[in-house]
Amino acid sequence: MRYLLAAMMLCGFASPAHADDITIALQGVKKDTGTIVLCLWANGDRFPDCESGKPLQRIVVPANASSARFDNVATGTYAVSAFHDANNNGRLDSNFIGLPLESVGMSNNPKLNGPPRFKPARFKVAGQTKIRIRFQSL
């Protein structure tokens, strides 16, 4: 009985890490066709490439959605990359020099003058978090 009580007390102290949600307001999508693909990143390894990188989470919402949400995100520093998959082929289309043909966006909405970087898109999650992504065409 004493061991059972000790085990129950330890379980109370070993509760799982607290997780929250990130709600993203989506702005500037020009067409209602296709989908919006959003990826959540904990580091800059292959950021913002949702296709060949390894984001923590990837979600897809209709192109006419006004918001999206990542669920159960632990406290920490993250970035979000997004693109409007207008032709619904599941990937970001680009031209022959690698510039995107579909609109793109990132957390913190940095002006995109070159390859996107993780650091300007970083934000902290410590509780329920709301951010806004404004889509840009390059």
Per-chain mean pLDDT for the chain:
88
Whether 27 has a pLDDT exceeding 80, the answer reads yes
Q: What is the pLDDT of residue 67?
A: 98
The rounded distance, in Å, linking the Cα atoms of 77 and 35 is 26
| Predicted confidence band of residue 34 (pLDDT cuts 50, 70, 90) | very high
Whether 130 has a pLDDT exceeding 50, the answer reads yes
Q: What is the pLDDT of residue 113?
A: 81
CA distances from 90 to 38, 43, 79, 93 (A): 12, 23, 21, 9
The rounded distance, in Å, linking the Cα atoms of 83 and 78 is 17
Give the pTM.
0.85
Q: What is the pLDDT of residue 17?
A: 61
